[in-house]
Chains A and B, each alone.
Chain A
Amino acid sequence: MILLFIALPLVIAGLLPLLGRVSKRVLPDVVANGTLAFLLAASVLMRKSLAAGGSVVALLGGPGEAVNIRLAVDGFSLFMLFAVALVGLCAGLFSIDYMEHYGSKANYYALFLVMIAGMNGLVLSADLFNIYLFLEVAAVASYALVAFGLEPDELEASFKYLMLSVVASAAILLGIALIFGATGGVDFGSVARGLQALDDRVLVGFAAALFIMGFGLKAALMPFHAWLPDAHPSAPAPISAMLSGLLIKVSGVYALTRVFFNVFGLTPALSSVLMYLAAFSIVAAALLALGQKDIKRMLAYSSISQVGYIVLGLGLGTPLGIAGGLFHVFNHALAKSLLFLNSGSIQQATGTRNLDEMGGLAKRMPVTAATNLVGAMSIAGVPPFNGFWSKLLIIMALVQAGRWGFAVVAVLASVLTLWYYLIIQRKAFFGKLDERWKAVKEAPFWMLAANVILALLCIGVGLYFSLTIKTWIQPAADTLAKGVRTVLATWGM
């Protein structure tokens, strides 16, 4: 059952190009979105079986042969599986109409599903080397998806992304090699035990630095962010949504926290490094976002800033901080995907991403404008939307821990966030309708449907935030708060 999260998207991805020969559009649309819907249902169902025990470590045996596939699901991985399936499904629905003019839809969905399989595989791994491997699976698929439009700027952005990602992978692999050399194992259990027995701060510190650099590059934490403002805007809108909403969180934040909390054990030094990097990201990226004219580029800088919030909460390491950080992972995934999908609707309707050229679009695209307002208010942290609660939790955790400086930074940067989202609202949707946009029409059905679903989720999670925290966030936060004991005791490794 657990292996299905990886195997199903891979198998369907293999079949899609063949199905694409039979039917160019309808069949790939139905099959790909059906797969994503199935994964979403499976992750919801799995929560029930997990509720009793807390975690499942599955050792799969093959028919007759000894096969060693060890997968681990606990609250944290299940939460990520759920987020991946949910946002993936919305991006998939959006693609039905949006990817129409790109051609070769079957191939697009195949790559999309391979990326999903890579992210799911990473989340389910209980082994450092498997994390690296599935990181690469998701990354290779995403390089191709960023360049999917084949325009020169898209190819350039993809190449830049590829080059910086390779540096990240090399750093991660070197870190894993050092850890393997020191502990003699790569699975979480033996590494955690080996590191406890090994009293060597230089080695562990150096490996941790390599991981911060590698996973930090993947998560686009400043100063490792240079690739993101190019790669995310250039990709087709649903892919921008996937990259900003999910990929940076799974291959960056998830991997970073899983390794540092459950394998290394969070030390005060690590915690400070993460928090300072995060605070720097929050402020610098918010200031950079203010100056952008390209709507998707502004959103990309905003992602860097919001990842800062997430890492700030997680890096603090208190139970409340962890819960806030994880809640913000979920909320940012919903809201930022919504905003990127919105920008795709705008780009398809007007042919431009330049905010200065837009204006008054709310009259022509009322649903897009309304959903965009929901997404913007959510990320900016306006009550009662979901983003407000997660930011509140993070700030409360900072105050509770007595880190007043960081709390002030988080509050002030949230004002900056509101400022640049109001710029988008004012320039794109309000004001006088430009002559050129008189004939602009509202986006087609599936694009609207994806936007409306995400907007409703933003509002719903905001209104029922305590329920969301209880069902999804708290089990995830618990596994992180338990630190190394999660792997050693609960997983029984």
Chain B
Amino acid sequence: MVLQTLLLIGLVLSSVLAILFKDLLRSAIALAAASLLLGIIFFRMDAPYAGVFEISVVAGLITVLFMLTIALTKGGEAAESKAVAIAFPAFFVAFVVIDVLVMRKLLQKIPALAGPAETGTFGQFLWTSRTFDLVGQIAVIFAGVFAVLALFRKGKDKDE
């Protein structure tokens, strides 16, 4: 329980740091740390597949992509308004307070799910019971690919 709480606090802190850091590189590293902690939490809660995906894809692959982009673009200092620095912590504190209040009420009421109801492996379950999700996954990937193709197309002049 103590370890779990520490992990959760670490997750929230590193997520907040990812938003507050002005330097994009640090921000990306904080995000990677957050997702690493989240992956560990998944493992500890008996969701090894979610943990593996979280750590390998989000903490690993996406962080590499972020770093590459940051290294290749080397933009100037990002100008930020003061409002963000004030509004965000205020919003965050309010959110945490509400979250704690609501969750304390809810947590006792949520019945524990019955043990491993599904038989078979993760892959079997995904393929036989959640097939439609895979169709949706394909569609999301399509949307992402076409979005990148459309947004990074050559300018109008060069197109002709």
List A residues at the B interface (Cβ < 8 Å): 6-7, 10, 13-14, 17, 62, 65-71, 101-104, 107-108, 110-111, 114-115, 117-118, 121, 125, 127, 129-130, 133-134, 136-137, 140-141, 143-145, 147-148, 150, 178, 181-182, 184, 200, 202-203, 206
B16 to chain A, nearest CB (A): 16
Q: Contacts A65-B127, A137-B139, A178-B106 known; A70 to B132 CB distance under 8 Å?
A: yes
Chain B residues whose C-beta falls within 8 Å of the C-beta of A118 in the assembled complex: 139, 143
A144→B151 contact, CB < 8 A: yes
Given the known interface contacts A6-B135, A141-B147, A182-B111, the answer about A101 and B156 at a Cβ–Cβ threshold of 8 Å is yes
- Nearest first, the 8 closest Cβ-Cβ pairs linking A and B are A144-B147, A133-B136, A140-B143, A103-B159, A137-B139, A141-B143, A107-B150, A69-B132
Contact with A along B85-119 (1 / 0, CB 8 A): 00000000000000000100110011101100100
Interface residue range, chain B: 35 or more
Docked complex Cα distance between A108 and B147 (Å) = 9
Asked if B146 and A66 make an inter-chain contact with CB atoms under 8 angstroms apart, the answer reads: no
In the complex, A148 Cα to B151 Cα: how many Å? 7
User: Is B140 in contact with A133, judged by CB distance below 8 angstroms?
Assistant: yes
Chain A, Cβ-Cβ closest to B125: A68
Contact status of A69 and B111, CB under 8 A, knowing A111-B143, A140-B144, A144-B150: no
With A103-B156, A141-B147: A130-B142 Cβ-Cβ less than 8 Å? no
> How many A-B residue contacts, CB cutoff 8 Å?
119
> Are B110 and A203 in touch, CB under 8 angstroms?
yes
B153 proximity list for chain A (CB < 8 A) = 103-104, 107
A184 proximity list for chain B (CB < 8 A): 113-114, 117
The answer to whether B136 touches A137 (Cβ under 8 A) is: yes
Q: B84 at interface (Cβ–Cβ under 8 A)?
A: no
CB neighbours of B121 from chain A (8 A): none
- By beta carbon, the residue of chain B nearest A115 is B143
Q: Is the CB–CB distance between A108 and B139 below 8 Å?
A: no
In the complex, chain A residues whose CB is within 8 Å of the CB of B127: 65, 67
Q: Which residues of B contact A114 (CB under 8 A)?
A: 139, 142-143, 146
| Chain A residues within an 8 Å CB radius of B81 | none
The CA-CA distance from A125 to B131 in the complex, in Å, is 12
A181 and B113 contacting across the interface, CB-CB below 8 Å: yes
Residue from B129, B139, B147, B155 within 8 A of A68 (CB atoms): B129
When the two chains form their complex, are residues B132 and A130 in contact, meaning their CB atoms are under 8 A apart?
yes
CB-CB under 8 A from A65, the residues of chain B are: 127-128
Cα A326 to Cα B12 in complex, Å, equals: 42
A148 and B137 CA atoms in complex are apart in Å by: 23
Nearest-CB distance from B27 to chain A (Å)? 16
18 A-B residue pairings within 8 Å (CB atoms): A6-B135, A66-B128, A68-B128, A70-B132, A71-B132, A103-B160, A107-B146, A107-B149, A107-B153, A111-B147, A129-B130, A133-B140, A136-B136, A178-B110, A182-B109, A182-B110, A202-B105, A206-B102
Q: Which residues of A contact B106 (CB under 8 A)?
A: 178, 202-203, 206
